Amino acid sequence: MKNLKLKAARAGLDLSQDDLAKLVGVSRQTISAVEKGDYNPTINLCISICKALGKTLDELFWED
């Protein structure tokens, strides 16, 4: 399932996938795969992404 909440939060801060990847220490391809739903990130990566975007786990990764 695509993670549109993550993509929207990243875009809302005017960050590219590469910018976010550098902030959390992964490749741009990893961020792309998470957004597309092709990769299930570890909890540590989820937390790092949330901190970088100023969001909670629920806001970005909880399915409605």
Per residue in 12-36, pLDDT (tens digit) is 999 999 999 999 999 999 999 999 9
CA distance 64 to 58: 10
63 pLDDT band, cuts 50/70/90, is confident
| Global pTM exceeds 0.75 | yes
Q: Are 24 and 45 in contact (CB under 8 A)?
A: yes
Q: Are 50 and 57 in contact (CB under 8 A)?
A: yes
Quick one: pLDDT at residue 13? 98
Q: Are 22 and 51 in contact (CB under 8 A)?
A: no
Task: State what percent of residues in the chain have pLDDT above 90.
Answer: 92
Domain of residue 39 covers: 4-61
Give the CATH number of the domain where residue 37 resides.
1.10.260.40
Provide mean pLDDT across the span 38-54.
Answer: 97
The enclosing H or E element of 58 equals: helix 57-61
* Domain count for the chain: 1
